[in-house]
Amino acid sequence: MSDIIGYILIIVGILFDIFGCIGLVRFPDVYNRLQASTKCVTLGTILLLVGVAVISGLGATSAKAIICAVFILITSPTAAHAIAKGAYASGVALWENSVVDKYAEESKK
């Protein structure tokens, strides 16, 4: 039973990873791509790791998997934040059809 649940989690996780990658290719600029990669890859990878933990049962493997999942949950948005700020600071422009940029006023100061 736990095998089936684990494999379902892994498959759903991989699907989210794939959709995240499709978004990464299709979206027009750095910031939109970050949206796709952070959200889908975070959830996809966490589901994968939880799936591994469910299949292997309580033990060394599942402890490692869960700890990795927690660290990904904390570090992935932080890294995205750093990349977005870095991209803006080094002058990467928003997509031409973007509707508003409140940050431009701030960074000019």
Stretch binding other proteins (CB under 8 A), from 3-11, 49-57, 62-70 = 62-70
- CB-CB contact of 17 with 63 (8 Å): no
Q: Does 56 bind other proteins (CB under 8 A)?
A: no
Tell me whether residue 2 or residue 81 sits nearer to other proteins (CB atom).
81
Q: Does 85 bind other proteins (CB under 8 A)?
A: yes
Among 6, 9, 20, 49, binds other proteins (CB under 8 A): 20
Angle of CA points 1, 9, 81, to nearest 5°: 155
Stretch binding other proteins (CB under 8 A), from 2-10, 28-36, 48-56 = 28-36
Among 6, 9, 10, 16, binds other proteins (CB under 8 A): 16
Q: Would you call 46 exposed, middle or buried from its count of C-beta atoms within 10 A (0-12, 13-18, 19+)?
A: buried
d(CA 2, CA 54): 6
